[in-house]
Structure 1
Amino acid sequence: MSFALRSTRTGIFAALKSIQAQRRLVSIARVPRPQMMCTRPSTISLRRYSEATTTGTVIPEDVERLSVDEYHRTAELTLESMLQDLEELLDSREVPGADVEENSGILSLTLPVNGSYVINKQPPNKQLWLSSPISGPKRFDFTGGEWISLRDGLKLVDILEEEISSAIGQDFQFTRIDFS
């Protein structure tokens, strides 16, 4: 390799090291950024949600009108009432391995015969979601004073009462749920 080529390479490497050293000293946080000004409303604020479910059925007006505060009040009342009824059931019937608990809007029920149920709040959709080892996942909207699946018309309470009754071998009904 010629002397000129070696000195050029050496010069390039020295320049690169110098640039890298300088880059470490520059803070991106100190670089001024231009302020963005929106001249028109965001598309998010203009968004219109669908008036139909995924099956094409029309969403009831009371579902659309349900305020966020009313949703939270109703959902929390539902979960708390279910928790109390299920705790009473499990206390009165010694079901080995059965457990129920509620934490931060999530109600978990374990029945050894069926498996684990999870009922949780979905505030963005104003829904309660059920994950059942028997009937699978379902979403419920509060309409007509009850949590109903707009997909198939089934009621949350009816599904749970039927599956829990089957698991424990006796009739079970939620008694504390009242939205009036």
Structure 2
Amino acid sequence: MSRAIVTKVARATLRSLQGTSRNTRITSTPFAAAALLPRATVPRFYSTAGPNGNMITPDKQPVQPKEEAAPTVVRAATELTDDEYHKLADQYMDRLVTHLEELQDEREDIDVEYSAGVLTVSFDDGIGTYVINKQPPNKQIWLSSPKSGPKRYDYVALGDGQNEKEGTAKGEWVYLRDNSTINQLFRDELQIDLSMPVGHYGEEEA
């Protein structure tokens, strides 16, 4: 039923009532008129909230609250004495040189040189040369990549307590800007897995 028809019916009803009972005062407001109409003509109001208080979208699907993102793990460099730094850095550099020299024996496109604490790894297929060296004043290991540029790695212990930072197996050299490690860089840029045990390539060829 249209709004105009509803209004006419309401006015006619009011005039009829006023004619039968002059002592009764009836207020001609929309709500009063609506109260006199049949139930089917009374407008209804609907809530936009779902059964659990969630809002309803136009397609009548409740909007679920967004889940909070997991907190980002923030790493910090481990405080090292000069002796601890040299021990950890030398252990890592020695293992890195051994691993890459072993890989050099299996591949003709790699040239590895280690002199005066500077390790260079060159690739003949146009990749370029990686340079890795200790940086004692900052207690870091520096790496220059032809693909991603220079990076400075700090030693980060994986456990709490001073005794747990001894040995490279319980810590990593980490680029603190993005929490990546030297091992990850070699894996991502060169597909070389430095986490494999020394001797892996020779055993693979046997």
Q: TM-score, normalised by structure 2?
A: 0.50
Structure 1, gaps ≥5 residues long? 1-57, 166-170
1:75 aligns with 2:72: no
- Quote the residue 2:141 is aligned against: 128
Distance, in Å, in 1 between the alignment partners of 2:143 and 2:104 is 20
**1:129–1:140 Cα contact (<8 Å) kept:** yes
Deviation at residue 151 of structure 1 after TM alignment: 1.4
Report the count of equivalent residues.
112
Q: Deviations over 1:140-166 (max 9, x none)?
A: 00002000011111111110222222x
Change (3 A) 1:162 1:91: same
- Quote the residue 1:55 is aligned against: none
Question: What are the equivalent positions in structure 2 for 1:19-38 lying under 5 Å apart?
Answer: none
| Aligned with residue 141 of structure 1, among 154, 167, 172 | 154
**1:107–1:120 Cα contact (<8 Å) kept:** yes
Max Rg structure: 2
Question: What are the equivalent positions in structure 2 for 1:163-178 lying under 5 Å apart?
Answer: 163-165=189-191, 172-176=193-197
Distance, in Å, in 1 between the alignment partners of 2:137 and 2:95 is 22
- Quote the residue 2:117 is aligned against: 105
Structure 2, gaps ≥5 residues long? 1-73, 158-170, 199-206
Deviation at residue 176 of structure 1 after TM alignment: 4.8
Deviation at residue 59 of structure 1 after TM alignment: 7.2
Change (3 A) 1:176 1:129: farther
**2:96–2:194 Cα contact (<8 Å) kept:** no
Distance, in Å, in 2 between the alignment partners of 1:101 and 1:131 is 15
Distance, in Å, in 1 between the alignment partners of 2:197 and 2:88 is 13
| Aligned with residue 100 of structure 2, among 86, 103, 115 | 86
Q: Deviations over 1:35-93 (max 9, x none)?
A: xxxxxxxxxxxxxxxxxxxxxxx873x52x21111111111111111111111111012
Distance, in Å, in 2 between the alignment partners of 1:74 and 1:146 is 10
Residue identity (%) = 44
RMSD of aligned Cα (Å):
2.2
| Aligned with residue 115 of structure 1, among 128, 142, 151 | 128
Q: Deviations over 1:124-149 (max 9, x none)?
A: 00000100001110000000200001
- Give the aligned residue type for 1:130: L
Change (3 A) 1:68 1:80: same
Of structures 1 and 2, the one with the larger relative CO (CA 8 A, separation 6+) is 1
Change (3 A) 1:124 1:84: same
